[in-house]
Amino acid sequence: MSVLLVYKVFQIERFKVLVLMIPALLLLVYSIFAPAPNMEENRRSLNTSSSEQFIARVSASFNYWHIEVENALGQTVYKNENTSMRSTFSLYWAWDKQDRLWFYYSDDGTIHYLSKSNDGWQLREYDKFDDALELKPPSSLFPSYVIPKHKK
């Protein structure tokens, strides 16, 4: 249909119309059969801590992001299925060297971290001005389009 329309409107020979359509067809074929790009390191569903003692499993349901941490034996040590982070927006995560799991939520730019304490694992919101431990999220946490405020 579109070939005939171009032919009638511009009075171009059919052969030339087909030649003009070849790049579009090649692009279509490439987009269908090209391999998927590698997932960013801070978006991989299974993510191992730097000490290799814990594995984070992060997944999205229809409404929320689900976070699960397992120890080296495969036992679940933390599971939070209804976080305040809705899955309609992107979530990025990365471990730091102290086995804290950090999260960057793209909706509002908040940063959370999951850390092990005497009471078990706890998810906290990061506040660089109020945190007594002077924690800093790892730079690998942030997507390429974000320049963290603490780096400015």
What is the DSSP secondary-structure string of 72-119? TTS-EEEEESS-S-BTTS-EEEEE-TTS-EEEEETTT--EEEEEEETT
Q: What does the pLDDT average to over 8-22?
A: 65
pLDDT: is 75 or 90 the higher one? 75
Mean confidence (pLDDT) of the chain: 76
Residue 131 pLDDT grade (very low, low, confident, very high; cuts 50, 70, 90): low
**Residue 133 is which amino acid?**
L
Residue 75 pLDDT grade (very low, low, confident, very high; cuts 50, 70, 90): very high
| 108-122 pLDDT tens trace | 888 889 988 888 898
Distance of CA 86 to the CA centre of its chain: 13
Residue 144 pLDDT grade (very low, low, confident, very high; cuts 50, 70, 90): confident
pLDDT: is 63 or 15 the higher one? 63
The pLDDT assigned to 8 comes to 60
Residue ranges of domains in the chain? 2-33, 41-151
| DSSP H helical ranges for the chain | 2-10, 14-33
User: What is the side-by-side order of every strand in the sheet holding 120-125?
Assistant: 91-95, 101-105, 111-117, 120-125
pLDDT at 46 over 80: no
pLDDT at 141 over 60: yes
HSE-up of residue 25 (Cα within 13 Å, Cβ side): 7
